[in-house]
Amino acid sequence: QTKLEQSLVALNDDQQKTQIDVEAVHQKLTTLTSSLAKLQQQLESLKTQRQTVVAAIAELEPQTQRQYELQKQTAKEQEAVAVALNSLKSEMNSRLTTLSEDYQLSFEAAYQNLPEDHRTLDELHTDLHLVRLALRDIGHVNLDAIAEFDEVNERYQFLAKQQNDLITARQELLKTMADMDQEVAQRFSETFNAVNSAFTAIFPKMFGGGQAKLELTNPEQMLTTGIEINAQPPGKKLQNLSLLSGGERALTAITLLFAILKVKPAPFSILDEVEASLDDANVDRYANYLRNYEAHTQFIVITHRKGTMMQVDRLYGVTMQESGVSKIISVSLTDVDQDKFTVTD
């Protein structure tokens, strides 16, 4: 695998790193969704408690109302009884006076002449006692029910707000993920199309003819699609990169590197004997084409090929003039008459 093929792998690695970022956001979404589910369970539990308290209050309200009405009626009756007692006392005193003065009768003598079904004062007291017993049977109203309802309702409102906050956060995360996916897909598509266009244009120049193109394995899924390289050197049919010869694969990979540098120039690039398997004609095309990028990219080229050496600005070599002692030498070809300078393979 050449350095140029590694550039293609790096391009795919960038895509995978972006996918990892998207998966991290998915993981965060999963965590928030789990928290939301737990809160929803708590909320449902509190809803059930709230409904129980509300139902209890609803059951107590009729009893409370009945007790209130009964107490109110009893108070009225007590007041009426008190008034009646006072009136009866006054009337009794008046009649006792009348009995004594007008009829010369005592109370006991007059009482014996009363009708048998006439209610006495004791009977009135008995009726009042029965009313009080009825009030006691009704029992006490749970006055704490309202406070309990307020407490549960406050907790319910708090959890409802948390639920709304989590739903909002989830929606924002989903929107962010969708925006990221769209942005990644758009940028990848734009970069791919630009590199493919440059690759298609450079290939005939590097091969002296033929055609080549990059193809997506799954264009509908830009975030997970793979990339295939199909090339047709002069005199051959269009086929996948894996079916080409070693030299053709190397030159195709070099062409792809040039296409990437054309779309996104790099400050410098290191090429380690990438043209080792090329014949002399293709080495010359490769070396000459390097000059097209010298305005934006500085190349550090490791090579043993004469055609490449003849196109560089400066040569660096390692020699061993003494046993065990290496020495680096350099030659600036811009200061040398290249017609008189020869390099042997």
The rounded distance, in Å, linking the Cα atoms of 271 and 196 is: 22
Considering only residues 235 and 91, tell me which one the structure prediction assigns the higher pLDDT.
235
319: nearest Cα among 331, 305, 337, 332? 331
Q: What's the CATH number for 266-345?
A: 3.40.50.300
The rounded distance, in Å, linking the Cα atoms of 180 and 19 is: 10
Spatial CB neighbours of 284, under 8 Å, sequence gap ≥ 6: 307
pLDDT of residue 36: 83
User: What is the average per-residue pLDDT within 79-96?
Assistant: 77
The rounded distance, in Å, linking the Cα atoms of 205 and 200 is: 10
Considering only residues 99 and 222, tell me which one the structure prediction assigns the higher pLDDT.
222
Give per-residue burial for 288-298: e unless 16+ CB within 10 Å, then b.
ebbeebeeeee
Give per-residue burial for 305-314: e unless 16+ CB within 10 Å, then b.
bebbbbbbee
Q: In whole angstroms, how far apart are CA 11 and each of 4, 83, 135, 218, 273?
A: 11, 104, 88, 17, 21
Beta-strand relationship, 314-322 and 239-240: unpaired
Q: What's the CATH number for 17-183?
A: 1.10.287
Beta-strand relationship, 298-302 and 268-272: parallel
The rounded distance, in Å, linking the Cα atoms of 173 and 176 is: 5
- The alpha-helical segments, DSSP class H, found in 264-310 are 280-290, 306-309
Are 185 and 223 a contacting pair, CB within 8 Å?
yes
Q: Model confidence over 31-83: pLDDT tens digits?
A: 888 888 888 888 888 888 888 877 877 777 777 777 778 778 877 877 877 88
pLDDT of residue 29: 83
The rounded distance, in Å, linking the Cα atoms of 229 and 242 is: 9
Query: Would you kindly state where each structural domain of the chain is located, as residue ranges?
Result: 17-183, 266-345
> In terms of pTM, does the model score above 0.75?
no
Task: For 89-126, give the DSSP string.
Answer: HHHHHHHHHHHHHTS---HHHHHTTS-TT---HHHHHH
Q: CA end-to-end span of the chain, whole Å?
A: 23
pLDDT of residue 257: 94
Question: Please, what's the largest Cα pairwise distance for the chain?
Answer: 172
251: nearest Cα among 271, 268, 265? 271
Q: Model confidence over 212-242: pLDDT tens digits?
A: 999 999 989 988 999 999 999 999 999 999 9
- What's at 185, amino acid-wise? A
Query: Counting beta carbons within 10 angstroms of the beta carbon of residue 316, is it exposed (0 to 12), middle (13 to 18) or buried (19 or more)?
Result: exposed
User: What is the average per-residue pLDDT within 184-196?
Assistant: 93
Q: Model confidence over 293-314: pLDDT tens digits?
A: 988 999 999 999 999 999 898 9
Query: Counting beta carbons within 10 angstroms of the beta carbon of residue 120, is it exposed (0 to 12), middle (13 to 18) or buried (19 or more)?
Result: exposed
- Average pLDDT score over the chain: 83
Considering only residues 338 and 218, tell me which one the structure prediction assigns the higher pLDDT.
218
Are 51 and 105 a contacting pair, CB within 8 Å?
no
Q: Is the pLDDT of residue 274 over 60?
A: yes
